């Protein structure tokens, strides 16, 4: 349970993992409530059918974007590993981070992830 904001050295996913702040249903509920409050504040009439259609599209999009395959495709993690290989991958990563002698090129600006 980590993300790029915490600056991990490695970030892997299992094929069944999900990456999101909240589930698609909760996120859709929040966005629907925001739309209702915005319409109420501006005095506009809200079309319930259009709101439900937009909410369903939002739910599907949130569900798609939380999949491990989506996050790996957009380089939001370091890849998907087979759960059976977790011990080997973890051992490799621990070996890499335990070597304090590794230094990068001081003039290198980094690699753009996206």
Tens-digit pLDDT profile for residues 32-46: 999 999 999 998 888
Residue 75: what pLDDT? 86
Dump pLDDT digits (tens) for 45-56. Answer: 888 898 899 999
DSSP one-letter code for 75: T
DSSP one-letter code for 13: B
CA pair distance 33, 43, nearest whole angstrom: 15
Residue 51 CB partners (closer than 8 Å, separation 6+): 32, 35, 36
Number of CB atoms found within 10 A of residue 111's CB: 6
The secondary structure element, H or E, covering residue 38 is helix 24-42
């Amino acid at each position: 349970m980590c993300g790029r904001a915490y600056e991990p050295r490695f970030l892997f996913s299992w094929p069944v993992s999900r990456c999101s702040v909240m589930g698609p249903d909760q996120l859709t509920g929040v966005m629907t409530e925001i739309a209702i409050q915005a319409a109420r504040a501006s005095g506009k009439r809200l079309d319930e059918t259009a709101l439900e259609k937009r909410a369903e599209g939002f739910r599907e999009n949130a569900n798609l974007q939380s999949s491990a395959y989506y996050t790996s495709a957009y380089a939001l993690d370091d890849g998907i590993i087979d759960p059976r290989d977790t011990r080997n991958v973890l051992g490799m990563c621990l070996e890499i981070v335990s070597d304090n002698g590794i230094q990068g090129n001081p003039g290198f600006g980094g690699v753009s992830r996206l």
